[in-house]
Amino acid sequence: MWTKHLVSGVSRAYSTVQRTRPFQVAIDGPAASGKSTTAKMVAQRLGFDYIDTGAFYRCVTYVALSKGIDPLDPHSSKKISALAEQAEIGLQTIFSREQDTMTNGSQKAATLPTTRVFLDSTDVSSEIRTNRVSQYVSAVAAIGPVREAILQKVRKMGATGDDQGSSSRLGLVMDGRDIGTVVLPQADLKVFLVADSRVRAERRLQELVRNGADPTRDILDAKAVQDDLEKRDEQDRTRKVSPLKKAIDAMELDTSNLTLEGQVEVIVNEVNRRRGA
């Protein structure tokens, strides 16, 4: 098992032996299309780093709500933008070995990587995934100066090494809404993940239940979850700054009828093909 701990304030360049930068994979798509799970698994398979950019917008939303700021009030934009600039966000992804060999010689399937999110050194991994944060995050993500502040943080995180100072980093997988279009426009591979909104809602619901959903706090009705996802997608697609859209050179992958392993395989194979491996 190994971890990659990335912090948004450190500045260190990648080694430039053969490439001027590591291989970059940009994964975008609507809510619950499978971006973060797929991205983490691809990173694990390839030994790449992983950056969840949605976590940044969720952290800013969480901190604004906890200070009693209403993200829907246009007068809040300045305050929220200041919070976005000040926030120190760190990500720690815990990867497992691809196939751990057990003592009897058989192979144990790889466990799913998990990402912990730190806001000013506090672990807010669960707090940023509540329905309340999900309901307001699109409004926060539509504020231009918030996007500017987060763009700088994620680019810096993507350009710096892990905290071990390793120069052997092979690549980076980043997921979000504007990775292929704005954050990493020169990415070596761009993937746009889509899935039927009913399928996405069912998967999100199962995920909520798996994570111990609380019926007094969480929406546990498939139709309501679907409406919520569709509403957020509409807001993300129609905002003025960096809207959710497929980059012209992105490969579209519909995960509605795929298994997680299947979609990871397609992306890993494409990375290897482009790397000439």
Ligand X SMILES: Nc1ccn([C@H]2C[C@H](O)[C@@H](COP(=O)(O)OP(=O)(O)O)O2)c(=O)n1
Instruction: Provide the terminal-to-terminal Cα distance of the chain, rounded to the nearest Å.
Output: 25
Q: Which residue has the tokens 């798509």?
A: 29
Which amino acid is located at 89 in the chain? I
DSSP, res 81: H
**Do residues 32 and 201 touch, judged by C-beta distance below 8 A?**
yes
Q: Quick check: 236 binds ligand X (CB under 6 A)?
A: yes
226: Cβ–Cβ under 8 A, 6 or more apart, which residues?
197, 198, 200, 201
Q: Which is nearer to ligand X, 62 or 95 (CB)?
A: 62
> C-beta of 51: minimal distance to ligand X in Å?
10
Q: Quick check: 228 binds ligand X (CB under 6 A)?
A: no
Phi and psi torsions of 159, nearest 5°: -95, -5
Rg (the chain; Cα; Å):
18
Only one of the segments 43-51, 74-82, 135-143, 257-265 lies at the binding site for ligand X (rule: CB under 6 A); that segment is: 135-143
Only one of the segments 25-33, 72-80, 136-144, 153-161 lies at the binding site for ligand ADP (rule: CB under 6 A); that segment is: 25-33
d(CA 87, CA 119): 7
Q: Which is nearer to ligand X, 97 or 226 (CB)?
A: 226
d(CA 81, CA 64): 10
Q: Quick check: 32 binds ligand ADP (CB under 6 A)?
A: yes
Only one of the segments 86-94, 113-121, 173-181, 211-219 lies at the binding site for ligand X (rule: CB under 6 A); that segment is: 173-181
> C-beta of 19: minimal distance to ligand ADP in Å?
27
Q: Quick check: 8 binds ligand ADP (CB under 6 A)?
A: no
Site residues for ligand ADP per CB under 6 A: 29, 31-37, 203-204, 207, 255, 258-260, 263
Site residues for ligand X per CB under 6 A: 31-32, 36, 53-54, 57-58, 137-138, 141, 176-179, 232, 236
